[in-house]
């Protein structure tokens, strides 16, 4: 778009996009092709093969880049991938055997599995640290090549100081990558706080409709973007055009959806904190959160993710989850529908019991992805489910 004064809601609809030049189509077309005709030998219009370039994919990338770079004056870039794990893998492919990675300890179970079961076997060293509680100088030693952090984390919703960790990462020559899936660029923009790159599982809030799987990496570093594109073209983990089109369609309502997710979640947090059967409640913007000051400093709000501990054992927690009706038992998040799960036996089951205990993931920990239904129905559903679980 011309100019740099457009607000976020406008960028979500128009950022990196314009009507298709041949027909004037307002919605970007789906370019469902594997290859492109050339006018002569090695004479093409910039498109040779769909693994390398696809116009639909480029529209999605430009849109995400415009949102993650909304606070920046320099250009921002993005590369789209077939999944969030593929986006995470793309960053790891930039490393060499023997490189050291400092990662947050409370991370998505699939990321933990990828680091410890796949890339560690290639000679990359991973140290898992609670980045929300330690001095960055102690957590990130000299020789670190990559700092990987989720903030807020999954599933305990811990918050780490992005600016402080970014300053230490640059001091030791490390690259800082922030998984921004939970907060989205609506509420947090790590690039403006000093991060080198941002990762999203676009499966979640960015798409928002539980009908596609994808990932993206955004950066303001043109050299890093070029390296990522080389890796993606070589590995071949790009998304298909229909996935990109669906994600781009969902992205346009991201600001609206996130406001409703947040409003519903805040009402549920108040209800949960007052319930006698509920122990600790984890929500970054709640006054009870241990890092609430950091959260409010670097985030403008938060979405629909809540974790809490029932004052119960695993069997009772299972009965509670299975008694829900509006909340659907499922292992994803960020869609318009509300989801519920038990991380210890679902999303984080790939972690060893010892790793879960060390991180603080209790057997009775419940994770909610609060959707955009009417909040009174959501509260009533949790209330009846707690009653059913404990009456048994």
Catalytic-residue membership of 158: no
Q: Are 309 and 368 in contact (CB under 8 A)?
A: no
Indicate which residue of 81, 105, 106, 108 is catalytic.
108
Q: Are 216 and 68 in contact (CB under 8 A)?
A: no
Indicate which residue of 59, 158, 168, 204 is catalytic.
204
Indicate which residue of 179, 243, 363, 381 is catalytic.
179
Strand ranges of the sheet holding 215-219, from the earlier edge strand across to the other edge: 77-81, 215-219, 197-200, 175-179, 144-150, 100-104, 125-129
Indicate which residue of 36, 51, 130, 277 is catalytic.
51
Catalytic-residue membership of 51: yes
Q: How far does Cα 242 stand from its chain's mean position? A: 21
The CA distance from 67 to 319, in Å, is 41
Instruction: Report the catalytic residues.
Output: 51, 108, 179, 204
């Amino acid at each position: 778009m011309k100019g740099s004064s457009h607000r976020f809601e406008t960028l979500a609809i128009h950022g990196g996009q314009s009507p298709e030049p041949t027909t004037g189509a307002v919605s970007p077309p789906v370019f469902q092709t594997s290859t492109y005709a050339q006018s002569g030998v090695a004479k093409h219009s910039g498109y040779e093969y769909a693994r390398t370039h696809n116009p639909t994919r480029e529209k999605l990338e430009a849109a995400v880049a415009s949102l993650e770079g909304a606070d920046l004056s320099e250009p921002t870039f993005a590369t789209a991938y077939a999944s969030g794990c593929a986006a995470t893998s793309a960053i790891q492919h930039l490393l060499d055997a023997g490189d050291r990675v400092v990662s947050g300890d409370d991370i998505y179970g699939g990321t933990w599995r990828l680091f410890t079961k796949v890339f560690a076997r290639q000679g990359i060293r991973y140290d898992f640290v609670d980045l929300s509680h330690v001095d960055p100088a102690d957590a990130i030693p000299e020789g670190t090549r990559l700092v990987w952090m989720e903030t807020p984390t999954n599933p305990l919703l811990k918050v780490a100081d992005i600016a402080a960790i970014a300053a230490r990462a640059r001091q030791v020559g490390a690259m800082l990558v922030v998984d921004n899936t939970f907060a989205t660029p609506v509420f947090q923009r790590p690039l403006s706080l000093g991060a080198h790159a941002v990762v999203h599982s676009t499966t979640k809030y960015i798409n928002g409709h539980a009908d596609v799987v994808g990932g993206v990496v955004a950066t303001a570093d043109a050299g890093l973007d070029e390296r990522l594109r080389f890796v993606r073209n070589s590995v071949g983990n790009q998304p298909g055009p229909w996935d990109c089109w669906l994600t781009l369609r969902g992205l346009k309502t991201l600001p609206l959806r996130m406001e409703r997710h947040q409003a519903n979640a805040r009402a549920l947090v108040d209800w949960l904190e007052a319930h006698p059967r509920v122990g600790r409640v984890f929500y970054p913007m709640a006054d009870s959160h241990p890092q609430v000051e950091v959260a409010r400093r670097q985030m403008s709000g938060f979405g629909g993710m809540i974790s809490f501990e029932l004052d119960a054992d695993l069997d009772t927690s299972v009965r509670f989850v299975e008694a829900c009706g509006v909340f659907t038992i499922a292992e994803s998040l960020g869609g318009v529908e509300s989801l519920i799960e038990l991380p210890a036996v679902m999303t984080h089951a790939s972690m060893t019991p010892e790793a879960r205990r060390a991180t603080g993931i209790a057997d009775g920990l419940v994770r909610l992805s609060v959707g955009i239904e009417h909040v009174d129905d959501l509260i009533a559903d949790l209330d009846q489910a707690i009653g059913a679980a404990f009456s048994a």
